[in-house]
Amino acid sequence: MRRDLLALYGFARLTDQIGDAYPGDRLAALDALEADLQRAWDGEARHPLLRELSPTLRESSLPREPFLRLVEANRRDQRVARYEAWSDLLGYCALSANPVGEWVLHLAGAATPERLAASDAVCTALQLVEHCQDVAEDFAAGRVYLPQEDLDRVGCREKHFEGAPAAPELRRAVALACARARVLLASGTPLVASLSGRWRLAVAGFVGGGLATLAAIERAGFDTVSTPVTASKGSVARHALRVWLRAGRTPA
């Protein structure tokens, strides 16, 4: 399991690094990555990280589509810098975040439609939490992930993304995104309850990490601009334990 998860993590990090930091033609580099990904299924990949991924692809029968979605998410980052509606952002998260949970469930042999739907909600929530943490960094890179309809709802304009401490309007926008994330994370308890063993513990850790980070953002007054907001390991462990215990009281 460790080998497989590390190989998947390596692919995800490589894809994101190309999409965020490659100094040349990023779209061409992502096309090359996708071509090498196709070769990885045949054990003929050229990039070292994709060569490490090949055994996982062959032995675990992982579907190709989530991998292709992650590459497409990074293509979208080159073309789209703003999201008009909440539904538009959900579509982006389906590309950029949800594949990770789907990989985990397929590795666990637990990829039922019900679990996949719950996993997608959790992964979208975790992506939202990351957008809240990185709101200033993303803006500096020319991107605003918080949807325009939510910004309009709380009176937040692009000028409010500048400067520290965070403007009250931006804090309200972050608070709204955090509330959306918390609702989605509620899907985590029945998902954890439906799993067993190490997989139950792992998914409880993912959900607990999201809840702990939301708590940290709330303690910061939803100001993620002044200083980086992260959850401590102890807080993550406490929230994960609560999720695990609640799952034990939830019918699978």
Q: What is the pTM of this model?
A: 0.93
61 sits in the region (left: phi over 0; alpha: psi -120 to 50; else beta) called: left
**What's the Cα-to-Cα distance from 65 to each of 48, 102, 215, rounded to whole Å?**
21, 10, 34
Residue 193 has a pLDDT of 93
Rounded Cα distance, 65 and 150, in Å: 30
Residue 185: both structure tokens together: 């994370």
The three-point CA angle 93-172-121 to 5° equals 25
Amino acid at 168: P
Residue 153 has a pLDDT of 96
pLDDT by residue, tens only, the chain of 252 residues: 889 999 999 999 999 999 999 999 999 999 999 999 999 999 999 999 999 999 999 888 889 999 999 999 999 999 999 999 999 999 999 999 999 999 999 999 999 999 999 999 999 999 999 999 999 999 999 999 999 999 999 999 999 999 999 999 999 999 999 999 999 999 888 999 999 988 999 999 999 999 999 999 999 999 999 999 999 999 999 999 999 998 877 655
Residue 189 has a pLDDT of 87
Rounded Cα distance, 41 and 67, in Å: 12
Rounded Cα distance, 62 and 109, in Å: 10
| CATH code matching the domain that covers 81-252, chosen among 3.40.50.300, 1.10.10.10, 1.10.10.60, 1.10.600.10 | 1.10.600.10
Domain residue extents for the chain: 1-79, 81-252
**Cα–chain center distance at 72:** 14
Rounded Cα distance, 47 and 45, in Å: 6
